[in-house]
């Protein structure tokens, strides 16, 4: 009996210990399972959290400084490359011969067609047009139009952009068009009629006389594009520490020979002022001047193509208008001068309000930024205020020159300017 009991006890014991080990085993499995689930869940959350943070950080970097900050090293690289490479040594010779020589045109055509960044090259009788498609806003264009020595500059720029695309996977945000023309009349302006006007953000010209002058760097053109070019010139001057002799930017608007183009599209013409100094410039200085204009061009194109939102600081506009108004001192015009000043002040207040709105906008929202960019381009066109022959009615440079004209002519100009500014105010207030 005792043996039986002890046997049963032993069995019971062993049974229960078996049972216990099973239970422990199961709960162990469950808790391990639960723990790994928990770990997995936490790890997963951590990972997504990191991914979200990473993406947000990337976005933040992309948007910083109006979308220009994270490519600053590339901008500098472009400008440094332009400084290093000789800008087409024989383009000066070509400047004379580029007059529709079939060889030169097909050579340029070959070079451009060879670049992978360029989507298509179209060869016409008197011009070549190369298109680089924008990655984000391909239906907005920045058009560069060059002839003569400008051709060498544009080719070099296209090559450098191509290299940057290869090495850094960069593509312009908006589309770029390089239009190279030969002859004395700018056939690239014909091209513009193929586009809806509001799709062209800026039309930038380096014509055959751009490097003839030895004076100030000057930009004529529509107000907004003009200030963008001047801002770019300031950046170039700062980065490369050019002195005032090489790059002088105190744009005195009095004796400028170039005026606005007969166009109703935002534009700028870049050149050095021909102040008729007859000193013999050496070859080296001339080369540097060419590099400088190439750098300003590159920086302007980059900013127009890459910035998320175009913002206009009207300081230069105000300054020019202010100087022009100062030059009016005939007694019989004072009353009208007052009127123009009041309209100008009102316009500047409206621009300030617009800029405050731009500062508040969330620039992730591409639709909002596009609407504002289009508004600025509209504003630039309205401020150009072309007449039936596309001559701008608001060109202060022309106003300076007309200062000796009879009273009624000047009065007519003043009234036209007031009307144009009132239209601009209307556009801004309709927002």
Ligand X SMILES: *[C@@H]1O[C@H](CO)[C@@H](O)[C@H](O)[C@H]1NC(C)=O
Task: List interacting residues with ligand X (CB under 6 A).
Answer: 110-111, 114, 252, 254-255, 274, 276, 318-319, 322, 348
Nearer to ligand X by C-beta: 6 or 106?
106
Shortest Å distance, C-beta 83 to ligand X: 22
Shortest Å distance, C-beta 172 to ligand X: 21
Shortest Å distance, C-beta 420 to ligand X: 18
Shortest Å distance, C-beta 80 to ligand X: 22
Q: Computed from CA positions of residues 274, 275, 281, 284, in that sequence, does the dihedral angle turn out positive or negative? A: negative
Nearer to ligand X by C-beta: 348 or 411?
348
Shortest Å distance, C-beta 120 to ligand X: 16
Nearer to ligand X by C-beta: 138 or 318?
318
Nearer to ligand X by C-beta: 70 or 318?
318
Q: What is the 3-state secondary structure (H, E, C) of the chain?
A: CHHHHHHHHHHHHHHHHHHHHHHHHHHHHHHHHHHHHHHHHHHHHHHHHHHHHHHHHHHHHHHHHHHCHHHHHHHHHHHHHHHHCCCCCCHHHHHHHCCCCHHHHHHHHHHHHCCCCCCEEEECCCEEEEEECCCCEEEEEEEEEECCHHHHHHHHHHHHHHHHHHHHCCCCCEEEEEEEECCCCCCHHHHHCCCCHHHEEEEEEECCCCCCCCCCEEEEECHHHHHHHHHHHHHHHHHHCCCCCCCCCCCCCCCCCCCCCCCCCCEEEEEECCCCCCCCCCHHHHHHHHHHHHHHHHHHHHHHHHCCCCCCCCHHHHHHHHHHHHCCCCHHHHHHHHHHHHHHHHHHHHHHHHHHHHHHCCCCCHHHHHHHHHHHHHHHHHHHCECCCCCECCCHHHHHHHHHCCHHHHHHHHHHHHHHHHHHHHHHHCC
Shortest Å distance, C-beta 90 to ligand X: 15
Shortest Å distance, C-beta 275 to ligand X: 8
Nearer to ligand X by C-beta: 309 or 348?
348
Nearer to ligand X by C-beta: 91 or 175?
91
Nearer to ligand X by C-beta: 31 or 403?
403
Shortest Å distance, C-beta 400 to ligand X: 9
Nearer to ligand X by C-beta: 41 or 254?
254
């Amino acid at each position: 009996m005792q043996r039986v009991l002890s046997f049963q006890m032993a069995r019971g014991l062993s049974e229960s210990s078996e049972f216990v080990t099973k239970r422990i085993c199961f709960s162990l499995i469950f808790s391990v399972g639960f723990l790994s689930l928990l770990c997995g869940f936490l790890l997963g959350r951590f990972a997504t959290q990191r991914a979200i943070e990473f993406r947000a950080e990337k976005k933040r970097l992309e948007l910083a400084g109006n979308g220009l900050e994270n490519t600053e090293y590339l901008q500098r690289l472009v400008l440094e490359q332009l400084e290093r490479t000789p800008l087409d040594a024989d383009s000066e010779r070509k400047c004379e011969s580029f007059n529709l020589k079939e060889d030169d045109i097909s050579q340029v055509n070959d070079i451009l067609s060879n670049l992978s960044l360029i989507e298509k090259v179209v060869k016409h009788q008197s011009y070549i047009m190369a298109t680089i498609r924008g990655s984000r806003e391909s239906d907005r264009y920045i058009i560069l139009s060059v002839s003569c020595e400008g051709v060498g500059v544009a080719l070099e720029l296209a090559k450098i952009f191509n290299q940057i695309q290869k090495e850094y996977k960069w593509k312009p945000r908006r589309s770029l068009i390089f239009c190279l023309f030969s002859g004395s009349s700018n056939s690239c302006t014909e091209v513009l009629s193929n586009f809806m006007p509001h799709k062209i953000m800026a039309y930038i010209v380096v014509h055959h006389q751009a490097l003839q002058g030895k004076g100030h760097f000057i930009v004529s053109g529509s107000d907004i594009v003009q200030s963008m070019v001047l801002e770019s010139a300031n950046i170039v001057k700062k980065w490369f520490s050019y002195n005032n002799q090489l790059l002088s930017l105190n744009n005195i608007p009095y004796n400028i020979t170039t005026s606005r183009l007969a166009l109703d599209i935002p534009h700028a013409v870049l050149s050095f002022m021909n102040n008729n100094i007859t000193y013999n410039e050496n070859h080296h200085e001339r080369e540097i001047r060419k590099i400088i204009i190439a750098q300003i061009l590159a920086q302007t194109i980059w900013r127009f193509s890459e910035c998320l939102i175009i913002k206009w600081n009207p300081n230069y506009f105000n300054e020019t208008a202010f100087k022009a108004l100062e030059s009016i001192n005939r007694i019989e015009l004072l009353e009208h001068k007052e009127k123009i000043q009041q309209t100008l002040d009102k316009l500047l207040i409206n621009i300030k309000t617009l800029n405050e709105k731009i500062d508040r906008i969330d620039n992730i929202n591409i639709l909002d930024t596009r609407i504002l960019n289009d508004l600025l381009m509209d504003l630039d066109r309205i401020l150009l205020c072309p007449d039936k022959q596309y001559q701008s009615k608001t060109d202060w440079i022309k106003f300076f020159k007309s200062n000796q004209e009879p009273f009624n002519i000047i009065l007519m100009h003043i009234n036209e300017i007031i009307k144009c500014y009132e239209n601009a105010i209307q556009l801004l207030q309709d927002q």
